[in-house]
Amino acid sequence: MMTEERALFIIFGGSGDLAQRKLYPALYGLYFQGRLAKHFAVIGTARRPWTDDHYHEVVKQSLVGAPGSAHQKTEFAEHFYYQSHDVTDAAHYVTLQKLASKLNLQYQLDGNRIFYMAMAPRFFATIAEHVKSEQLLSPDGYNRLIVEKPFGRDYASAKQLNDDISQAFSEEQIYRIDHYLGKEMVQDIMPLRFTNPFLENVWSNQFIDNIQITLAEDIGVEERAGYYETAGALRDMVQNHIFQIIAMLTMEKPSRYDATAIHEAKRAVLAAIKPYTPAQVHTNFVRGQYVGGDNLGLSYREEDNIAADSTVETYVAGRVDIDNDRWRGVPIYLRTGKKMPAKTSRIDIVFKPTKDNILPTTGNAPVRANVVTLIIEPDTGMHITLNGKEIGVSDAVSPFTLDHALDKDELAKAPEAYQRLLLNILEGNKLTFTHWDELAASWHFIDAVRNVWDNDKADGLAFYPSETMGPKQADELLSRDHRTWIWQGK
Ligand code: NAD
């Protein structure tokens, strides 16, 4: 039996892109599933002077292509209330408070409130301050705050942001979204690691040689130029998504399957990744920027709203080491970039080759190492490379691959990442959200790299042709360790 959740959503930035493209369809998905039914309401706030009727139209417009009848969508949209709002005006929060109390009674919401910051982070402090001073927090039920990325642009600003929202909300009440944690194969890391002894028992430096994490995009900067120029690939992808993946892959087994235990395990392993000295940054991190050409489109520096001498990196590769007993000696190689040959997010766990092989191989080649690959996207699934006998009279050993693709129909039916995250928030399940301690640790590491690059300016920025695997220095990062990247493109 699906239980119906009761809550009031207050969305700051209700007319924005995130709200319309992600949040309204996700809320509707929960409604369509029956997890939201009679007892929910949404207040959207933004600057524009919209009426409720207009807001309903906007909400319905965001549901084009969603399943269900027009009647269902209209009923859903009628739960939405719009309030024109200037985040700096205290009087608006008083009006908001009154509307929230009224809707709480009208829809019997049990005093549960979810505050969603769907606005630029510079407003968060003001909003949190007013939420507290104008008593928008519900005295009964729960109060939960949802915060989007980017969470700061370095440790200092992240800490400031965290202090700001902490005026009104406790760590327990804060849900920091990293939508990568909502992805199917990232969620699969724990079951794979902790319910399969044949993986669990070899998950250490005794058997694993190295780990490779690739988050490749085939697109360029597109419409995100303004933001990207102030961020770059390191902040945009490594600090959050890649560090969260590293934590999930390498944490010790949590003592229980709950958010507190998992956050503790993640915190501990991230604390074992020591920030690099400048010399170590130069040795272990590579940055690049894409260059276009015939049939390759524009160079990054030629794109709209990008500085002609921009040194912002569109590609990062690096080596990270974990200083603990389980992982000492196992490099984690990471890379992410724009304008790579294909869009793919994958994790390759490369095992040590078999010792003292006695079996024949074709041409006396070394026996291939086992590789466990998790494909996060686009072809969600995993494969494992093993060795077996060649078919026929030959007794030579040759590698083969076990493929497991998640069922496409089931996947198509599975909720979008945002829908799942919203459901987790309604259920008070913080498993798929980022704890402040994890963020702090990753920012300390990222800042050390960033500071060196900021000082170096253009020095060391490698240019790579679009539709390639990035600068050759990224290959050298592995070849100097006598290794190669497992994923070589399409
Ligand atoms: P947006 O610019 O489309 O929307 C901003 C919203 O804030 C609008 O509703 C606007 O009316 C409102 N607003 C701005 N100034 C205001 C003021 N002074 N008073 C009241 N309302 C005001 O932005 P977005 O793309 O929806 O992003 C919102 C947040 O979510 C940002 O922090 C962004 O980094 C993050 N985010 C967005 C996406 C996405 O897909 N759009 C993805 C990940 C994270």
Q: How confident is the model over 108-163, as pLDDT tens digits?
A: 999 999 999 999 999 999 999 999 999 999 999 999 999 998 999 999 999 999 99
How many angstroms separate the alpha carbon of residue 399 from the centre of ligand 1?
Answer: 50
Q: What is the pLDDT of residue 297?
A: 96
Residue 85 annotated among the catalytic residues of the structure = no
Distance separating the N- and C-terminal Cα atoms of the chain:
44
Say how many C-beta atoms besides its own lie within 10 A of residue 265's C-beta. 18
Q: What is the pLDDT of residue 414?
A: 85
Tell whether the torsion through CA atoms of 353, 356, 358 and 360 is positive or negative.
positive
Looking at the CA of residue 227, tell me the nearest atom of ligand 1: 34
Compute the distance between CA of residue 4 and CA of residue 38 in angstroms, rounded to an integer.
8
**96, 83 in Cβ contact below 8 A?**
yes
Cβ–ligand 1 distance for 220 under 6 Å, the answer no
Closest-CA residue, ligand 1 atom 1, reads 16
Looking at the CA of residue 14, tell me the nearest atom of ligand 1: 9
Phi and psi, residue 200, nearest 5° = -55, -40
Cβ–ligand 1 distance for 286 under 6 Å, the answer no
How many angstroms separate the alpha carbon of residue 19 from the centre of ligand 1?
Answer: 8
Looking at the CA of residue 149, tell me the nearest atom of ligand 1: 44
How many angstroms separate the alpha carbon of residue 115 from the centre of ligand 1?
Answer: 14
Characterise 383 by phi-psi region: left (phi > 0), alpha (psi -120 to 50), beta (else). beta
How many angstroms separate the alpha carbon of residue 132 from the centre of ligand 1?
Answer: 21
Tell whether the torsion through CA atoms of 423, 429, 432 and 438 is positive or negative.
positive
Q: What is the pLDDT of residue 1?
A: 61
Q: What is the pLDDT of residue 7?
A: 98
Compute the distance between CA of residue 334 and CA of residue 315 in angstroms, rounded to an integer.
11
H helix runs in 62-218, sequence order: 70-77, 90-106, 124-133, 155-166, 184-187, 189-195, 197-200
The tens place of each residue's pLDDT in the chain, 490 residues long, gives 679 999 999 999 999 999 999 999 999 999 999 999 999 999 999 999 999 999 999 999 999 999 999 999 999 999 999 999 899 999 999 999 999 999 999 999 999 999 999 999 999 999 999 999 999 999 999 999 999 989 999 999 999 999 999 999 999 999 999 989 989 999 999 999 999 999 999 999 999 999 999 999 999 999 999 999 999 999 999 999 999 999 999 999 999 999 999 999 999 999 999 999 999 999 999 999 999 999 999 999 999 999 999 999 999 999 999 999 999 999 999 999 999 999 999 999 999 999 889 999 988 889 999 999 999 999 999 999 999 999 998 999 999 999 999 999 998 888 888 999 999 999 999 999 999 999 999 999 999 999 999 999 999 999 999 999 999 999 999 999 999 999 999 7
| In the block, residue with structure tokens 């050409």 | 293
* Cα 5 versus chain centre, distance: 25
pTM, 2 dp = 0.95
Compute the distance between CA of residue 187 and CA of residue 429 in angstroms, rounded to an integer.
14
Q: Ligand 1 pocket test: which of 119, 181, 235 has the largest number of ligand atoms within 8 Å of its C-beta?
A: 119
Question: Pick the catalytic residue: 241, 263, 383, 435?
Answer: 241
Cβ–ligand 1 distance for 47 under 6 Å, the answer yes
Q: Express each pLDDT in 378-430 by its tens digit.
A: 999 999 999 999 999 899 999 999 999 999 999 888 888 899 999 999 999 99
- Among 152, 320, 177, smallest CA distance to 235 is for 152
- DSSP letter, residue 6: -
Characterise 82 by phi-psi region: left (phi > 0), alpha (psi -120 to 50), beta (else). beta
**80, 42 in Cβ contact below 8 A?**
yes
Q: Ligand 1 pocket test: which of 11, 12, 15, 18 has the largest number of ligand atoms within 8 Å of its C-beta?
A: 18
Cβ–ligand 1 distance for 407 under 6 Å, the answer no
- Among 248, 217, 437, smallest CA distance to 316 is for 217
Cβ–ligand 1 distance for 226 under 6 Å, the answer no
| Full DSSP string of 103-130 | HHHHTT-TT-EEEEE-S-GGGHHHHHHH
Cβ–ligand 1 distance for 89 under 6 Å, the answer no
Cβ–ligand 1 distance for 424 under 6 Å, the answer no
Q: Which two tokens stand for residue 74?
A: 């209209």
How many angstroms separate the alpha carbon of residue 12 from the centre of ligand 1?
Answer: 8
Compute the distance between CA of residue 458 and CA of residue 476 in angstroms, rounded to an integer.
20
Closest-CA residue, ligand 1 atom 33, reads 120
Looking at the CA of residue 19, tell me the nearest atom of ligand 1: 26
How many angstroms separate the alpha carbon of residue 455 from the centre of ligand 1?
Answer: 31
- DSSP letter, residue 300: G
How many angstroms separate the alpha carbon of residue 85 from the centre of ligand 1?
Answer: 13
Compute the distance between CA of residue 144 and CA of residue 475 in angstroms, rounded to an integer.
44
Closest-CA residue, ligand 1 atom 37, reads 18
Q: What is the pLDDT of residue 159?
A: 98
